[in-house]
């Protein structure tokens, strides 16, 4: 397959290759993945048919310039049905397209994934913020599932619930499809109770506060909005029904630690409900103000220098030996892909407890829940 083009001798990974402990590089509080050669496989959709291979990738995969795709076709890094083609080749519906590239995954925060409980058919962990739960988008090895397989040999794992990438806290995995199905049935029957803690701006009011307001997620912008009716006779709000119960745990006069109990599970529900009632999460850039710039539009220009490898004071003389530099790669010699500058931090939102009909799993509170002059005993009571 790969022997017919430039790059013969390179070991090309596919999703079948498991992550390994030596795949990770830790630097400046971040976990990086050692860049690796990977075969991306896709099949031609009906709307793609009739385009040239170069036009298709230029139009649909805008992360690289047209010149890159022309060169990739010439060098055999783009193939159709495992065959080299020319730049004017017109693709047909359902054909297999292989894109062989040097893959750079985004970095995540470098905290350990702590195993809380490891039972016969269930494992629970404390997920660090910024780490996605399972492979998605540019993330494959830098995921909770990937790291648990690489560092603890835990596989297969079936996520019982999800946490947004920037959220930390309790994650529950089933170790078998049968146990996962049992959890799924309990979720569909609304038999689970979920609890989170958040650090919000201002003095949150005492007593339980219930927010019942529809949530509408905009996939293009990557954020949600609250949709409410303006009054009798007005059009019904759009979005999905959403309900969250809040209760203040403690406050220092500037911030409050709030217990959050989502009754439903909409995208960004806790975050957008807190913003709606005037107490947004204190470090939530997405919902703190109306000014929003999608991450995908920030710092996306391709750059070659200065190299983050050579400029890092912790790298030493062996920096270039940590991974192979690929002449065609638009990310080399940097460890992270273009557009990721390593300044991302986790949200002050943390999952602390999931409870079912005959089980309950908990996760310790994070350090940011300790406010000045506030007793930790009060928070945990």
For residue 374 the two structure tokens come to 């506030």
* Region for residue 144 given its phi and psi (left: phi exceeds 0; alpha: psi -120 to 50; beta: otherwise): alpha
**164 annotated active-site:** yes
Q: Rounded distance, CA 219 to CA 153, Å?
A: 34
* Region for residue 45 given its phi and psi (left: phi exceeds 0; alpha: psi -120 to 50; beta: otherwise): beta
Sign of the CA dihedral 231, 235, 237, 240? Answer: positive
Residue tagged active-site, from 164, 230, 324, 326: 164
150 alpha-carbon distance from chain centroid: 18
Q: Which long-range contacts (CB under 8 A, 24 or more apart) does 359-366 make?
A: 361/116, 361/117, 361/124, 361/170, 361/172, 362/116, 362/170, 363/116, 363/124, 363/126, 363/169, 363/170, 364/126, 365/197, 366/168, 366/169, 366/197
For residue 20 the two structure tokens come to 């390994």
For residue 243 the two structure tokens come to 């309900």
**Rounded (to 5) percent helix, strand, coil in the chain:** 20, 30, 50
Which residues are tagged catalytic? 164
């Amino acid at each position: 397959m790969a022997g017919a083009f430039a790059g013969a001798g390179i070991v090309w990974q596919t999703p079948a290759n498991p992550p390994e402990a030596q795949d990770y590089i830790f630097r400046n509080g971040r976990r990086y993945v050692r860049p690796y050669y990977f075969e991306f496989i896709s099949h031609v959709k009906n709307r793609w048919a009739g385009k040239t291979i170069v036009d298709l990738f230029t139009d649909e995969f805008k992360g690289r310039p047209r010149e890159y795709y022309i060169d990739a076709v010439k060098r055999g890094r783009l193939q159709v049905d495992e065959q080299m083609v020319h730049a004017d080749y017109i693709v047909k519906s359902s054909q297999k397209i292989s894109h062989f590239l040097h893959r750079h995954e985004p970095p995540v925060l470098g905290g350990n994934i702590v195993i809380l409980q490891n039972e016969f058919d269930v494992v629970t962990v404390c997920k660090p913020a910024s780490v996605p739960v399972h492979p998605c988008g540019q993330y494959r090895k830098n995921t909770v599932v990937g790291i648990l397989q690489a560092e603890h040999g835990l596989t297969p794992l079936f996520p019982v619930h999800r946490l947004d990438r920037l959220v930390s806290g309790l994650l529950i995995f089933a170790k078998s499809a049968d146990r996962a199905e049992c959890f799924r049935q309990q979720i569909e029957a609304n038999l689970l109770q979920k609890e989170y803690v958040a650090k919000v701006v201002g003095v949150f009011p005492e007593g339980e506060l219930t927010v019942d307001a529809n949530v509408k997620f905009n996939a293009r912008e990557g954020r949600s909005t609250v949709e409410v009716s303006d009054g009798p006779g007005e059009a019904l709000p759009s979005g999905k029904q959403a309900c969250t119960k809040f209760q203040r745990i403690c406050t220092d006069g500037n911030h409050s630690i709030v217990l959050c109990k989502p009754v439903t599970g909409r995208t960004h529900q806790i975050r957008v409900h807190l913003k709606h009632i005037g107490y947004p999460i204190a470090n939530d850039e997405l919902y703190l103000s109306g000014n929003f710039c999608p991450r995908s539009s920030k710092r996306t220009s391709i750059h070659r220098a200065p190299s983050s490898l050579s400029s890092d004071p912790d790298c030493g003389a062996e920096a270039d030996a940590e991974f192979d530099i690929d002449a065609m790669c638009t990310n080399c010699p940097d460890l992270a892909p273009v557009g990721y500058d390593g300044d991302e931090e986790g949200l002050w939102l943390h999952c602390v407890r999931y409870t079912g009909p005959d089980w309950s799993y908990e996760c310790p509170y994070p350090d940011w829940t300790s406010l000045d002059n506030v007793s930790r005993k009060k928070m945990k009571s």
